[in-house]
Structure 1
């Protein structure tokens, strides 16, 4: 019988809150060292979510790993984590945090589009005025959750659909405030050059097609551009070629699977669209300076 391999865990939303939206304010004491974690402690194990998640740290400190990047969060900081990103909390001390999770269907379509363009992002320290405004939005969302669960029913049952719409609108306002703060750190959309717009479109296609489209010409064709012009745009904007970005996206997913699953290199290669798994092994070694198995051993050990 073939050995059953484990994929990267995907933590689903809690089902005790509104469908497609979950928001809660939680306090934690000191987190024990990572070496003491057991397999039932889901928050300590590397995982993905099936939602877009936003975390506003009100008190204490948190260290978190997101796709092999190590971050430390201080009070009055916020972080956005995309559903594709693999992450785990490695330490925290005396924290109070507000966490919001929303599915694609509940996010404002414009916000969803902008979020896709943001990834990856770092924790963002908030100005006093921005934090105060965001905290008001948080309070409204939490109050609506409480009102929905415990509000008076003397006037008859309220519409569940209306309750959901109210919560969705309030949570989208919170997301909008977080988004606007992140976007202040980046180039304004109305100042994007032609090169920027082409690169943005390329990245969207890359995220959706990296397991099937491996050549720059594949993406040039999707964008109705010449390969040379696509490469010029991407290199001008990012400093790297189209081929580099394709390879880096594949290597990132390979790293995720090597570290967070127990799939074999051959199984990982097949998942990433390679019939010839030695080719992926050579590509991984060239990009990282070590073999796939050496990467797994080093980072797990």
Structure 2
């Protein structure tokens, strides 16, 4: 293996959501890759029964009944065992997670640890995930399909963010590269509309562009330019979905004078044009 594989959600789901329920004794499908890999999206797990283990960036994370957990985009992970667990699996594109919730998930100096839920909290998650699964399975032609599903997903991620904002584990401090990665991501979320240059972000962090690229590749598998593009596209998707700005206005809002270049960039990243994305997401 020349490099760690990266799994892209768009290859499996055009909606940016994949949700499934697994029962005790379930085994992965034969075609499912089990080796170490990264994802370009978030993963959420709710273990209702039994136990399981994952290896996250060289740390074994154990899950017991009533555990809630998430994996960040770019974190290297692989399954150790899950044949004796039952619960929910959610793969979610970053576009579905509001910035405030992302700040909870991404701006931690510690490797995230499972959150143990109370019986009341577990019951709330179970009901919400059942509803999300049912709504996701409905026809996209149903009135308000997209906004209703988006509201449910924001409720889910908001509940997860609230739980994890209370979780701390001082034993697993990030390395210096990990800290720089976090600082870069925080800067990126704040400045992406006005700063697109990798060298500018490196200067703000008081490191060289070469070193920042090395750090990002080591900790996430992607260079600085990839994350800048991803954050721009995320903002573009939000504006296409939530606002009535036209493509030219959105391009200018995001700092692009040439809206045709912006459209090409969007299509390269999302595999559809901005207008097609808007039409599909609002059905």
TM-score (norm 2): 0.58
Structure 1 stretches (4+) deviating beyond 4 angstroms?
Answer: 14-18, 199-203, 205-208, 249-257
**Which of 135, 143, 150 is the equivalent residue of 1:168?**
150
Q: Which residue of 2 aligns with 1:74?
A: 64
Q: 1:85 to 1:200 in 2, by over 3 A?
A: closer
> Distance between the aligned counterparts of 2:36 and 2:89, measured in 1?
17
Q: Please say if 1:100 is aligned against 2:95.
A: no
Q: Please say if 1:124 is aligned against 2:115.
A: yes
> Distance between the aligned counterparts of 1:252 and 1:28, measured in 2?
37
Q: 1:28 to 1:11 in 2, by over 3 A?
A: farther
> Distance between the aligned counterparts of 1:15 and 1:105, measured in 2?
16
Q: Which residue of 1 aligns with 2:177?
A: none
Q: 1:256 to 1:163 in 2, by over 3 A?
A: closer
SS at the partner of 1:19?
Answer: coil
Q: Which residue of 2 aligns with 1:87?
A: 77
> Distance between the aligned counterparts of 1:14 and 1:206, measured in 2?
23
Instruction: Please list every run of 5 or more consecutive structure 1 residues that lacks an aligned counterpart in the other structure.
Output: 152-156, 188-198, 228-241, 258-267, 273-301
Q: CA deviation at 1:177?
A: 0.6
CA contact (8 A) 1:31 1:91 kept: no
CA contact (8 A) 1:57 1:96 kept: yes
Q: Which residue of 1 aligns with 2:7?
A: 11
Q: Please say if 1:29 is aligned against 2:25.
A: yes
SS at the partner of 1:122?
Answer: coil
Q: CA deviation at 1:121?
A: 0.5
Q: Please say if 1:113 is aligned against 2:103.
A: yes
CA contact (8 A) 1:10 1:47 kept: yes
> Distance between the aligned counterparts of 2:127 and 2:119, measured in 1?
13
CA contact (8 A) 2:19 2:88 kept: yes
Q: 1:18 to 1:57 in 2, by over 3 A?
A: farther
Q: 1:107 to 1:252 in 2, by over 3 A?
A: closer
Q: CA deviation at 1:112?
A: 2.5
- RMSD between aligned residues: 4.2
Q: Which residue of 2 aligns with 1:158?
A: 142
Q: Which residue of 1 aligns with 2:262?
A: none
Deviation digits for residues 193-222 of structure 1 (CA, Å, limit 9, x no counterpart): xxxxxx9756735999xxx77xxxx86x52
> Distance between the aligned counterparts of 2:215 and 2:80, measured in 1?
23
> Distance between the aligned counterparts of 1:103 and 1:77, measured in 2?
22
